[in-house]
Structure 1
Amino acid sequence: MPAVSRELSFVELVTPDGEAVGSATVESAHQQPGALHRAFSVLLVTADGRTLLQRRAAQKTRFPLRWANSCCGHPAPGEPVAEAAARRLTEELGISGVEFVEAGVYAYRADDPATGRVEHEYDHVLVGRVEADLAVAPDPAEVAELRWVAAERLREEIIAAPDAHAPWLPGVLSVAFDLS
């Protein structure tokens, strides 16, 4: 699905406790001051503890060219989070058949100085265990680059260059791996 039409898709607005209270388009939910809405962040992890990161494509409307978790997105209103995550994993990375465990939720708000947009999300953190030789076919409209990184190395990189990473990544990692 092209990025433009995704901006016109609907997201589920939620209370700080995650209770659904309505809907808005992706575009309007990410305009200042931002509307709290349901989202998900997927982390794909190998048996030896490496996590697949993606560098967001240059044309992304929020935090382009920053390193982020394996995949992220928004379920449609009423859509199960794991179902939406599986769909986006296929769309962004060409991966299917991954089973997820929900590690928890991370709520955050972050202003993007490059685009003027805002993320204000009630983010379900999903972890999928995968093989190291996983075949990945990233959509270049979504993903500029991919790499596998060990958890401790990633923690060091975020501390050294926080602006090279999506602002939600440290919180997502904390929920998934307790890397604080």
Structure 2
Amino acid sequence: MEDQVILVNEEDVEIGLMPKLEAHQKGMLHRAFSVFIFNTKGEMLLQRRAFGKYHSEGLWSNTCCSHPFPEESANRAASRRLREEMGISADLNFLYTFQYRVQLENGLTENELDHVFWGISDEKPLINTDEVSEYKYMTMNDVKADLILNPGNYTEWFKICFAAVAEQLKLKI
């Protein structure tokens, strides 16, 4: 069975399910999450999306992101995907929710109500190469500088929420 996403309204009330690819083809608003992990030095763990992903392949992004399964909370899904994609675990804290809509390559549209979580972990990532091609740790200032110099190297949602995450966590950039 194809992965289903949870369709929602702007208040995050579930209104149905749809196959993930179809939701991105039709630009339907659906629930998603993004996870930001920092090590104890304050560096952000970034992942480079695997080549061959159906969109945004090979782009750098936050530690992990995806969609909850039907009847799965965003928090539980975030913890599950952190283990599945990066091979690590952390106590995740809800930060905020934001909605965005952007056109992607191949005629796809991201229209997501994104629940953002953060945590701290010094575990060494053991990446799932079906999802992630590589990872790195960067200081917030280095990420900010690289986003300015090389915005095309990053996912659209990461470019949208990076500064808000820093602001919410009271991190200086």
Of 142, 147, 154, 1:158 maps to: 147
What secondary structure sits across from 2:22 in the alignment? helix
Of 61, 64, 70, 2:63 maps to: 70
Deviations 1:102-126 (A, max 9, x none): 110121112222x322211100010
* Paired letter, 1:121: E
CA distance in 2: counterparts of 1:49 and 1:95, whole angstroms: 17
Of 3, 7, 13, 1:19 maps to: 13
* Paired letter, 1:146: Y
What secondary structure sits across from 2:141 in the alignment? helix
**Does 1:86 find its partner at 2:63?**
no
Aligned CA distance change for structure 1 residues 105 and 174 (closer, same or farther; 3 Å): farther
The TM-score, its normalising length taken from structure 1, stands at 0.88
Counting only pairs closer than 5 Å after superposition, residues 104-115 of structure 1 correspond to structure 2 as 104-113=96-105, 115=106
Of 86, 107, 121, 1:116 maps to: 107
Moved over 2 A (4+): none
Once the two structures are TM-superposed, the CA of residue 10 in structure 1 deviates from its matched residue by 1.1
Unaligned runs of 5+ in 1: none
CA distance in 1: counterparts of 2:12 and 2:40, whole angstroms: 31
CA distance in 2: counterparts of 1:60 and 1:30, whole angstroms: 13
The TM-score, its normalising length taken from structure 2, stands at 0.92
Counting only pairs closer than 5 Å after superposition, residues 87-102 of structure 1 correspond to structure 2 as 87-96=80-89, 98-102=90-94
Once the two structures are TM-superposed, the CA of residue 14 in structure 1 deviates from its matched residue by 0.8
**Does 1:31 find its partner at 2:20?**
no
Unaligned runs of 5+ in 2: none
Name the residue aligned to 1:135. Answer: 124
**Does 1:169 find its partner at 2:158?**
yes
Does the aligned pair in 2 maintain the 1:102–1:127 contact within 8 Å?
Answer: yes
CA distance in 2: counterparts of 1:25 and 1:159, whole angstroms: 35
CA distance in 1: counterparts of 2:131 and 2:124, whole angstroms: 17
Deviations 1:33-91 (A, max 9, x none): x1110000001012322100011011111111110000001001221111111111111
CA distance in 1: counterparts of 2:124 and 2:117, whole angstroms: 20
* Paired letter, 1:99: D
Does the aligned pair in 2 maintain the 1:12–1:76 contact within 8 Å?
Answer: yes
The count of corresponding residues between Structure 1 and Structure 2 is: 169
